[in-house]
């Protein structure tokens, strides 16, 4: 009887070890066999306010020692931990040593994104072996590529694009959108009166929401009137603003299509055995992640929080190349596996390319020319 008990215990223990291994594989480096390429697109960490408003009681606050629109210490920790997460998930696939041939990191030209790129790379690739150049410093320099803001064609898409704003105006004039925007008139009026600034569209609400959120994170006291609108009511409009800015395929093409085009092109290039690349990392902003996900039509209307990250993995399974798309918007849960409409969790690459052909730009310079030669676009806003 005792022998049976011992056998049962040993069998149960072995079963638990197997289940533990499967569990670890499911949340960690499980794709070593089929994984070929990773594109990681993430938003910077928590920051100080980038904007203010006329009646802001903290308008003269300098946010020392960080400054306006810069990463806070919490934001720095979050981005470093994001790098550690990537190390845990893809460590076996990438190997321990950093290689320029295998990994490329690109950021927008905004300080907080550049700093986030540095922090993620520090967490992802601490120096090992001969790369450890300082015995007391667990860090090594990793090259970060960037474009000047007004020449950004990939992550912020700040290059002049009159056609985008022309089409956005047309969308705002459509019956469905106009009805929703008209329903916000009372909120616009109230927020304008309280804030002392002109609030007349969802982007204005988003800007004010982001300022209040950043001040709250910095433990500053918000005005009493704020509680009537923040966070819930303003959050709803803020989430809608991201949807509105890439409302149809043409807007998606002009704002999110360039990054998606590069990701798909790099995935196709990886089909060549000589291609050594294993990972592309992109440090951007809320709109960077949201526009990409909406171009793929896998975005659930939400606010792209600090540190949100899209993971687009190229796999080779059963002689087929395809993509698995994940979204990490919390540290409380493993990245969510998303499904491209009309596809399975593993979506063959040619199907993704066919599905997204209407949101992929051919020649952005030509496609950004307005249909009306007299149309005057607004000046660029944002970071």
Distance of CA 67 to the CA centre of its chain: 23
> Can 44 be counted among the known catalytic residues?
yes
Residue 150, both tokens: 């007004």
d(Cα 278, Cα 276) in Å, to the nearest integer?
6
Task: Say how far apart CA 127 and CA 140 lie, in whole Å.
Answer: 6
Which one, of 325, 289, 324, 323, lies nearest residue 307 by Cα? 289
Cβ–Cβ under 8 Å, residues 103 and 79: no
315 catalytic residue (yes or no):
no
Cα torsion at 326, 330, 333, 335 (round to 10°)? 10
Pairing of strands 103-107, 279-284: parallel
Q: Which two tokens stand for residue 257?
A: 């299509």
Contact 45, 74 (CB under 8 A): yes
Closest to 89 measured CA to CA, from 288, 324, 351: 324
Q: Give residue for tokens 């980038």.
A: 50
Q: Which of 56, 152, 204, 286 is catalytic?
A: 286
Which among 44, 194, 285, 315 is annotated as catalytic? 44
Q: How far apart are the first and last CA of the chain?
A: 72
By annotation, the residues acting in catalysis are: 44, 286
């Amino acid at each position: 009887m005792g022998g049976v008990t011992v056998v049962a215990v040993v069998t149960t223990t072995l079963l638990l070890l197997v289940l533990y291994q499967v569990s670890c594989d499911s949340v960690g480096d499980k794709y070593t066999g089929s994984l070929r390429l990773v594109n990681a697109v993430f938003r910077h960490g928590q920051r100080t306010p980038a904007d203010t408003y006329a009646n802001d009681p903290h308008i003269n606050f300098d946010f020392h020692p960080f400054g306006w629109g810069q990463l806070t210490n919490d934001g720095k920790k979050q981005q470093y931990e994001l790098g550690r997460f990537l190390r845990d998930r893809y460590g076996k696939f990438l190997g321990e040593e950093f290689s320029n041939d295998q990994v490329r990191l690109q950021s927008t030209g905004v300080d907080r994104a550049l700093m986030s790129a540095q922090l993620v790379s520090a967490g992802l690739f601490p120096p090992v072996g001969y790369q450890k150049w300082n015995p007391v410093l667990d860090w090594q320099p990793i090259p970060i590529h960037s474009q000047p803001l007004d020449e950004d064609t990939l992550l912020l898409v700040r290059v002049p694009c009159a056609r985008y704003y022309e089409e956005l105006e047309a969308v705002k004039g459509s019956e469905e959108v106009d009805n929703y925007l008209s329903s916000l008139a009372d909120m616009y009026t109230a927020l304008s009166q309280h804030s002392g600034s002109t609030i007349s569209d969802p982007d204005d609400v988003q800007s004010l929401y982001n300022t209040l959120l950043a001040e709250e994170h910095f433990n500053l006291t918000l005005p009493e009137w704020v509680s009537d609108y923040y966070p819930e009511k303003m959050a709803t409009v803020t989430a809608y603003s991201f949807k509105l800015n890439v409302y149809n395929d043409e807007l998606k093409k002009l704002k999110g299509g360039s990054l998606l085009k590069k990701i798909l092109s790099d995935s196709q290039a990886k089909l060549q055995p000589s291609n050594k690349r294993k990972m592309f990392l992109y440090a951007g902003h809320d709109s960077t992640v949201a526009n990409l996900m909406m171009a793929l039509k896998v975005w659930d209307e939400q606010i792209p929080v600090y540190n949100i990250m899209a993971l687009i993995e190229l796999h080779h399974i059963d002689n087929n190349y395809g993509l698995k798309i994940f979204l990490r918007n919390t540290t409380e849960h493993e990245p969510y596996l998303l499904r491209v409409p009309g596809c399975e969790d593993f979506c063959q690459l040619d199907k993704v390319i066919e599905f997204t052909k209407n949101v992929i730009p051919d020649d952005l310079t030509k496609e950004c020319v307005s249909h009306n030669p007299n149309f005057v676009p607004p000046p660029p806003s944002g970071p």
